[in-house]
Amino acid sequence: MLATIQYNSKKLKIDLSKPLDISIPLKASKNNVNAWYLDEPSIKPVVFDDLTVAVKEGASVNFNSIQFNPHAHGTHTECAGHITEKVHSINKNLKQFFFLAEVVTVAPEKHEDDFVISKKQLQFALGNKKRDAIIIRTIPNTTEKLSKQYSNTNPTYVLEEAAEYLKKKGIKHLLIDLPSVDKEKDNGELLSHNAFWNTKGKLRLDATITEFIFVPNNIDDGCYFLNLQIAPFENDASPSKPILYKIEED
């Protein structure tokens, strides 16, 4: 199902029947991807008195309550409210949902005792391209990312200089396959979050960071049309489902 979309001054052809899902689903399992020292998510039927509200238990419907943390338990999109005293809502500040995005693959560099993504790497990957969003896939890129337990592992992170570069280049939406753009234990400095959202200047409330994505290896680097879907949570972050569409050649 080919569709021609007018995006800014460009006409893009995309096949709506071929979505590329780069989200990690949330499940009630110890194998659910996890970070920030929390237990796994819980999805359980409600119990009223002695009645468990599940069809297999004799109820007429399934009626589950879900307990999870969007930052710790899967693909999520956050706004500047994640790090500001005033809790800005992602639901109120993400007002557009389609963007021109560049998928880039980066091999993290050794930096002291850490592995990082540097400004130089992103400059090389983006060059002179004008994009609304960048989607960063780190290597090695294995399916272990779908179930990895990241707490106390000091994962790769984005250097402040790289986040600053993306901000200055006009990237509004940063998507990455890591639990955070910042170092796991950084004494609360959150340098890359602060740089990307420009907390020392005019706050970029229309900019978002999406973490815990997974970009399969059969998705090539390059330009895609991104649909950034969120659930309507009045919260600094929401579970999300970023979908890519290949841009068809004329």
The predicted structure's pLDDT at residue 6: 85
- The answer to whether residue 4 scores a pLDDT higher than 70 is yes
Total domain count for the chain? 1
d(CA 234, CA 236): 7
16 in a structural domain: yes
108 in a structural domain: yes
What's the sign of the alpha-carbon dihedral 75, 72, 138, 200?
Answer: positive
31 in a structural domain: no
212 in a structural domain: yes
pLDDT tens digits, residue range 122-160?
A: 999 999 999 999 999 999 999 999 999 999 999 999 999
Question: CATH number of the domain that 128 lies in?
Answer: 3.50.30.50
- The answer to whether residue 249 scores a pLDDT higher than 80 is no
The arithmetic mean of pLDDT across residues 114-124, rounded, is 98
Q: Please give the sequence-ordered ranges of beta strands (E in DSSP) within 60-206, or none if there are none.
A: 64-67, 76-78, 98-106, 109-111, 114-117, 133-138, 157-158, 173-176
119 in a structural domain: yes
42 in a structural domain: no
The predicted structure's pLDDT at residue 2: 83
In the numeric block, which tokens belong to residue 19? Answer: 């979505």
59 in a structural domain: no
Q: Structural domain of residue 159, as residue ranges?
A: 2-26+70-246
172 in a structural domain: yes
